[in-house]
Amino acid sequence: MWRLRELCTEARRNLGPVHLVLGLVGSIVAGALIALLLVQGSHAINQESARRAAGSLVWTATATDLATPLDGTTCTRLAVLDGVAAAGGQSSTGLPELSAFPGGQPLPLTGLTPGAAQVFAPRAPWAATTVGADLAALNEVGDGSWLIDQEGARAQQVTAVISQAPIGALTSSVVVPIAPDAPLDACWIRMNPAAVAYGHDILATAYPDGVAAVAPFVRQQAGDVPPAQVWKRTVDQQPWLLAAAAVAAAAALALWARRTDLAVYRTFGTPRSAVVMLVVIENTLALAPAPAAGTLLGVLAHAMVTGSGALPALVVTAVAQAVAATLTALLIGVGLTIAATRGNVTDILRDR
């Protein structure tokens, strides 16, 4: 009667080229699965980051009648609501004339309430005078420059250059802070990702009776699927099942190659259950390194395709699917072994 320790020793001795091929197939399949999930996940994250940088989380309320501006206090207070990451508004009236030097041409100005710049440029300074990178490229105004009023005196100092923002008001003009309660041409709010769908209701409630036209800053085209949803669909399709089938097919071929060896065990009185356990241990030893080797291959493939490292959360998801594929292939291998050992021993030996 075989004992478990003896079966493990026998299985280790039986490891050969067939098991080496099975291990390589398992590692390659696991690596391909992990690379697929990592690359698609990284693409989804990058696309989502680009959409957010373009203002996909922003909702705008624009005054329907320029003669009836929006209330600035109402807009400023929206920043304290749950789900609102930043809020502020823009005014184009009541701004001083400022120039880069005495006697110079007036600079294009944009008046923003405190917090308005953070709606489109989260790293922009709070309630500060800034200049857009496009305007700063003319070398008239830059970080630290003083703006001159009509009397030739220093009026305001630029404290930062905004290089990236989806609106020209921040990148092509000088932003000057205005009072939080100033009348506004438009009110902006940037929502938290989980609450972006409620942006319309918040602005519509803040400015009822048709005072403002509410719309998303980035209009989604019909049929567009958010990148995060594309990634979720890929995971929901359970690609690990296909990987498990591929590894199980390799395990079936390995079993077919060893069918005469297993028949010899049975000829000398080894119980069918012991033969099945022996094959299971052999396959486990062959496929045990597959998830780890596949992780290394998948991460390297991802780095070659994307040129960057993968996020830990993506790696965890991908490795979990690779482990699931390997375990499923082992379970399928058990069923195949049970079926194979039910054959007639004499016929198997005659067919070698």
pLDDT at residue 349 in the model: 56
Per-residue pLDDT of 286-305, as tens digits, reads 999 999 999 999 999 999 98
Does position 330 have pLDDT exceeding 60, yes or no? yes
First CA to last CA across the chain, in angstroms? 27
Q: Cβ distance 306 to 37 under 8 Å?
A: no
Per-residue pLDDT of 229-282, as tens digits, reads 777 777 778 899 999 999 999 999 988 888 877 777 777 777 888 888 988 999
Per-residue pLDDT of 31-67, as tens digits, reads 999 999 999 888 888 888 888 888 999 999 999 987 8
Percent with pLDDT over 90 in the chain: 52
Model confidence, pTM: 0.76
CA 178 – CA 94 distance, rounded (Å): 9
CA 76 – CA 164 distance, rounded (Å): 23
pLDDT at residue 310 in the model: 80
pLDDT at residue 339 in the model: 83
Q: Cβ distance 67 to 213 under 8 Å?
A: no
Does position 147 have pLDDT exceeding 80, yes or no? yes
Does position 348 have pLDDT exceeding 70, yes or no? no
Query: Which residues, at least 6 apart from 264, have a Cβ–Cβ distance to it below 8 Å?
Result: 349
CA 200 – CA 61 distance, rounded (Å): 9
pLDDT at residue 114 in the model: 93
Does position 222 have pLDDT exceeding 60, yes or no? no
pLDDT at residue 350 in the model: 55
The alpha carbon torsion through 82, 85, 90, 96 (nearest 10 deg) reads: 120
Q: Which range among 109-113, 137-141, 182-186 shows the weakest confidence by mean pLDDT? A: 137-141
- Phi first, then psi: what are they for 190, rounded to 5°? -105, 125
pLDDT at residue 20 in the model: 93
Given pLDDT bands bounded at 50, 70 and 90, which one contains residue 21?
very high
Q: Which range among 56-60, 131-135, 213-217, 334-338 shows the weakest confidence by mean pLDDT? A: 334-338
**Positive or negative torsion for Cα 316, 317, 323, 327:** positive
pLDDT at residue 2 in the model: 66
Please tell me whether residue 97 adopts helix, strand or coil conformation. Answer: coil
Round the average pLDDT of the chain to a whole number and report it. 88
Helices 272-287, 312-340: inter-axial angle, 10-degree rounding: 150
Overall average pLDDT of the 4-15 stretch: 86
CA 171 – CA 269 distance, rounded (Å): 83
